[in-house]
Amino acid sequence: MGEGLLETSARPVISNEPAITPELIAQHGLKPDEYERILKLIGRVPSFTELGIFSAMWNEHCSYKSSRIHLRTLPTKAPWVIQGPGENAGVIDIGDGLAVVFKMESHNHPSYIEPYQGAATGVGGILRDVFTMGARPIACLNALSFGDPDSPKTRALVAGVVAGIGGYGNSFGVPTVGGEVRFHRRYDGNNLVNAMAVGLAETDKIFYSAASGVGMPIVYLGSKTGRDGIHGATMASAEFGADAEEKRPTVQVGDPFSEKLLLEACLEIMARGCVIAIQDMGAAGLTCSAVEMGAKGDLGVTLDLDAVPCRETGMSAYEMMLSESQERMLMVLKPEKEQEAEATFRKWGLDFAVVGKTTPTKRFVVRHGDAVMADLPIKELGDEAPLYDRPYAERAKLPIIDAASVKPPMPVAEALEKLIGSPDLCSKRWVWEQYDHVILGNTVQRPGGDAAVVRVNEGPRALALTSDVTPRYCEADPFEGGKQAVAEAYRNISAVGGKPLAVTDNLNFGNPERPEIMAQLVGCIRGIGEACKALSFPVVSGNVSLYNETNGRAILPTPTIGGVGLLDEFTKSMTLAFASEGEAIMLIGATRGWLGQSIYLRDICGREEGAPPPVDLAAEKRHAEFVRGLIRDGSVSAVHDVSDGGLLLALAEMAIASGIGAVLEAPPALPAHAFWFGEDQARYVITARNSEPIAQRAKEAGVPFMRLGATGGRVLAVADERPLPVDDLKTRFEKWLPAYMASKV
């Protein structure tokens, strides 16, 4: 690209340079000491545009300034890991020349302010992260946390978020195959929308964001830039107050049809060998993408904003640099391929504009008209971002609750009826039926099971995908809660027969400037790290979302884990539905009847207290390997992991999924309510024609084993309890959410 690009344009210079005041600095989310760092770094007062650039690069959402030192402790390597954290998405090798590219990110704050567009653009952003790496997206998942169902805004937030996820994903043409939905009063005023995307690429055709070569053209691709989303990243790095509704202009607007065109155009020019580097324009838009590309390549970047395609008139440099308009990419192209790339994008009806070039200066220079609007050291914009080792105050360990001390307020059968129809444990069919979960034709297991199963191309291999966390455990004991989130993802993948390979995480917490919140973050990261290491389940990508609180009340700590596993034969994937009558029902794993932080204790006894169940990682690995072996050699007919609600909930879900009942034997010495509803970890329910061979294998493997009863009939018959018709349980299970959403109250 010639110097002509940088010559004075006929377009008039737009003056938008107010004086830098303490109030303006605070509005940009910068602390006084951070502003002093800026002054020392550049040796002068920044321009308004430069202040905006620093605000974008140094906010929590982009710089990870409160979490970086702790994130570095996570295990990120394994022989199958091609790319760990630090790129648009993580990449793992699954053999046969193929790689899985995946990541999870949050769009929490926008989704509260404007639920449909906030959730929709969250999906769009994570899809771009995946195809930016050269992968074709094959599946999406999500993890949603809403406030108390009785709170005034909850129903509207659920409706808007689910519609936004479905609207974008369905239109783009990728199946949404799994996820989770929870309700708790602590998410009032700050719901969580975590979106995960998974794609396939060839291992030798992965694309990265680091620019290379001096004088290479920097090209803007996709949709035009508007004023939507300005200060979006800054807004996502601050807690809400009573004025949350006024932040609606910071929410972006998405167009899934443009994104589909962008996907096809990007993959086409990648295949043609046009691309040196590529970066999605996500949080902080043009600023973050350009800085990251240059800094990673040890190069400078010069941008000419006169060349940026705009859909609104009179946009200032500040607005163009901070806009978070959707469906946009920034690329460094091979000069000899520039015309070919442009022709491809024009064919797809997308904007293509050379907006800058790489330089040897290691400076980030932004020109607009006849003025230089920014001239900053590019490496320092990222590398010199504040890094905080914030103080944290760990809470005292909560007491272990003796199951015998918990007096059951109702019989076991009645408790099951209540729990199976409760907001957290009921069927989420109303949600996932709004998503297209079968488009592309490779969905083997649909939502509603332990993990989704999606074929790799035409098979025979398949991916097992899940997202999980138990926030109440994380608040009660962040270390054990972090471990448990990983262990549950590991179990879910194992329960369908997949070998767990890697995770992406989305760490959602409150204000890290509060020591008690910082303690949650540190504890959960330590727990996640220990579990990932013990289970050979490395973290390859992720996102941190802090300041999730409203009027000083934080969300429950919610470090969501997205897990990916591999099956050699998709035809051998296992489901949770009882396969037939007359089969033995068995339990793998030990049961102590752990009621601390259980849903039974909370929803039946009205007590949110006690220590959560401990997670024995060695047992998790041993039991999972044992179960996967049974699935692999065809020894079992159904598998379900035991999690929220305990053993009887798991059995009820298996009965409901099949329409087949069960006769269950009396529990051992434990109190009945503790045995049936305790949330002990590392457990699976399995079924088979004959229990004896499995009992022998379990004994040889040192795996706890118990026969629970047998399948048959149309009732769930628990010893010494009133029999429960499976059809009645199914009605209760399916009823709550549609009835709630249809209510006009």
Active site residues: 61, 107
Q: What does the alpha-carbon distance between residue 405 and residue 401 come to, in Å, rounded to a whole number?
A: 7
Residue 303 β-bridge partners: 356, 366
DSSP for 23-65, written as a single string: HHHHHTT--HHHHHHHHHHHSSPPPHHHHHHHHHHHSHHHH-T
Q: What tokens appear for 3 in the block? A: 């110097």
Burial class (CB in 10 A: 0-12, 13-18, 19+), 297: buried
- Tokens coding 646: 């305990």
Place of tokens 């941008």: 303
**CB-based burial, 346-369: b 16+ in 10 Å, e otherwise:** eebebbbbbbbbbbebbbbbbbbb
Contacts of residue 724, Cβ cutoff 8 Å, sequence gap at least 6:
413, 416, 417, 652, 715, 716, 717, 718
CA distances from 645 to 452, 496, 658, 676, 686 (A): 21, 20, 19, 9, 17
The CA distance from 741 to 745, in Å, is: 10
Phi, psi of 354 (to 5 degrees): -75, 115
With tokens 């890697």, the residue in question is: 502
Helix/strand/coil for 146: strand
CB 159 within 8 A of CB 485: no
For the record, the structure tokens of 76 come out as 């990120």
* CA–CA separation, 271 and 205 (whole Å): 8
CA atoms 242, 248, 251, 255: torsion sign? positive
Q: Is 643 exposed, middle or buried (0-12, 13-18, 19+ CB in 10 A)?
A: buried
**Alpha-carbon span 332 to 30, nearest angstrom:** 31
d(CA 462, CA 457): 8
How far is residue 686's CA from residue 631's CA, in Å, rounded to a whole number? Answer: 10
Contacts of 363 by beta carbon, 8 Å cutoff, 6+ apart: 300, 301, 302, 375, 376, 377, 378
85 CB neighbour count, 10 Å cutoff: 19
Asked if residues 69 and 544 have their Cβ atoms less than 8 Å apart, the reply is: no
Pair type for strands 549-550 and 638-641: unpaired
Give the C-alpha separation, 278 to 292, whole Å. 10
Q: Which helix (H) or strand (E) holds 504?
A: strand 499-508
- List helix spans (H) across 647-725: 647-658, 672-677, 692-701
Per DSSP, 476 falls in state H
Question: What's the CA gap between 216 and 358, in Å, rounded?
Answer: 5
Which residue shows structure tokens 């990419």? 329
Return the C-alpha torsion angle 222, 225, 229, 232, nearest 10: 80
Token readout for 192 is 């969580």
What's phi and psi for 586, nearest 5 deg? -130, 155
Q: What is the dihedral of CA 181, 185, 186, 188, to 10 degrees?
A: 90
